């Protein structure tokens, strides 16, 4: 049985940005199936 780790249901996090960027090989071309995950915390304060 899977457990839910949702801390706050139905919460939208507009200041946390998540982006998958492709991994580039030695030739500068994207490698199929590989990505870097970039997480940006936008602190407007």
Domain boundaries, the chain: 14-45
Q: What's this model's pTM, rounded to 2 decimal places? A: 0.55
The residue-averaged pLDDT of 1-18 equals 82
Query: Could you tell me if 44 and 15 are in contact, meaning their C-beta atoms sit under 8 angstroms apart?
Result: yes
pLDDT at 1 over 90: no
Cβ(35)–Cβ(20) below 8 Å = yes
Split at pLDDT 50, 70, 90, the class of 11 is confident
CA distances from 35 to 22, 26, 29 (A): 4, 15, 12
CB 23 within 8 A of CB 36: yes
Token pair for 41: 């915390």
pLDDT at 44: 77
């Amino acid at each position: 049985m899977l457990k839910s780790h949702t801390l706050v249901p139905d919460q939208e996090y507009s200041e946390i940005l998540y982006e998958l960027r492709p991994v580039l090989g030695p030739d500068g071309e994207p490698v199929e199936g590989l990505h870097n995950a970039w997480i940006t915390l936008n602190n407007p304060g």
